[in-house]
Amino acid sequence: MRGFARACAFLLIFDVGYYLQAIRGEFQILVHRHSIEKLIANSKTPVTLKQQLELVRRLRTFARTELKLLVDGNYEKYVDVHRKYVVWDVQAAPPFSLEPKVWWYPFVGRLAYRGYFSEKRAREYGSRLAKQGFDVYVDGVEAYSTLGWFKDPLLNTFIYDGEPELAELLFHELAHKRVFANGDTDFNEAYATTVGREGARRWLRSKGEAGLAGQYEVAIAREQQFVHLVLATREQLAQIYGDAHRTEDEMRREKQRVFDDLRRQYAELKSTWAGYSGYDDWFAHDLNNAKLNTVANYYDDVPAFQRLLQQNGGDMQRFHTAVERLSKEPKIRRHQQLRELGAECEPSFCQ
């Protein structure tokens, strides 16, 4: 806990109110951890939870041996936070720009989100940003990584996910501990998304779960279609916002037209999904620049990382090493290389 005390002292130098809630939230998780080995051995532990904890043990081994991730002591403990989400992220962007608002944090630099352990506080902060004129998106988060500061536990917010989804989430979060570029949300999330997805695929193949693997590929294909719609919409908006001859009123009308068109396209796409409605909730609420940015954060650069994996023959150790080298490049150069890699990625591989 000495590391925790040092972190607390350092953080308090900055935004006291914000960091106090972060310290309290993390502390509550740390002190309520339970060993998964003891939970599995305890006859009072619900059978379903035991099964999921046993699955996590196997996933941790796979992550270490096959995906070359730094598992260490992560996900050896379990915490029930007694709520649906562990934190709520606030993201914001100007009304006529896709450039996200960023916040500076000690140790990790500037990131495009601000997390709260309280939904009420997150929404209050989001409301203040909205009054300043920002497009704002507040979203609940099932899991997050402390980037090696602490040993992250399993949480009730995601432990009951389906096997492919749980595997992808754990591999995604562990990837953040393998490589993390300070101040580069898009790079970090796209890398982790690539690792999570590739890891889940390899896990299912290793088990010979043809049926489950097929279902997972269908889910990925639908996700890719959704992502394509959102990213194409961002490109349209970028052109509108970049036109210096348009007035704000004209941009506002065009922005609404583009969002209306996105909803229409989604309805058409969903009609081909045999009743699947996984993104309905996303579309049920207001669309804005900040909301679209959350999708771009995670997916815009995934083809680049998939190409890098391909260049390294699918070898995960070589892939991580290549990503680590890339993370040390200046940010402008790093993203230039990502654009070049993404342009090279074959459509049959980049999905």
- The per-residue pLDDT for 17 is 86
Task: State residue 350's pLDDT score.
Answer: 64
Q: Distance (Å, rounded) from C-alpha 242 to C-alpha 52?
A: 49
Please give the share of the chain, as a percent, with pLDDT higher than 90. 89
Band of residue 186 on the pLDDT scale cut at 50, 70, 90: very high
Per the CB < 8 A criterion, the answer to whether 195 and 167 are in contact is: no
Q: Tens digits of per-residue pLDDT, 84-112? A: 999 999 999 999 999 999 999 988 899 99
Residue 349 scores a pLDDT above 70 = no
User: What's the pLDDT at 107?
Assistant: 83
What would the two tokens of residue 289 be?
């620049």
Q: Where are the domains of the chain?
A: 34-344
Q: Give the residue-averaged pLDDT of 317-346.
A: 95
Q: Report DSSP letters for 111-154, one per residue.
A: ES-EEES-HHHHHHHHHHHHHTT-EEEEEEES----TTSS-PPE
Residue 181 has pLDDT above 90, yes or no: yes
Q: Cβ(56)–Cβ(173) under 8 Å?
A: no
Which band of pLDDT confidence, cut at 50, 70 and 90, is reported for residue 11?
very low
Rounded (10°) angle between helices 302-311 and 185-207 = 60
Report the predicted TM-score, pTM, of the whole model to 2 decimal places: 0.92
pLDDT, one tens digit per residue, over 261-279 is 999 999 999 999 999 988 9
Instruction: Look over the chain and give the mean of its residue pLDDT values, rounded to a whole number.
Output: 94
Rounded to 5 degrees, what angle do the CA atoms 242, 244, 250 make? 85
What pLDDT score does 314 carry?
Answer: 97
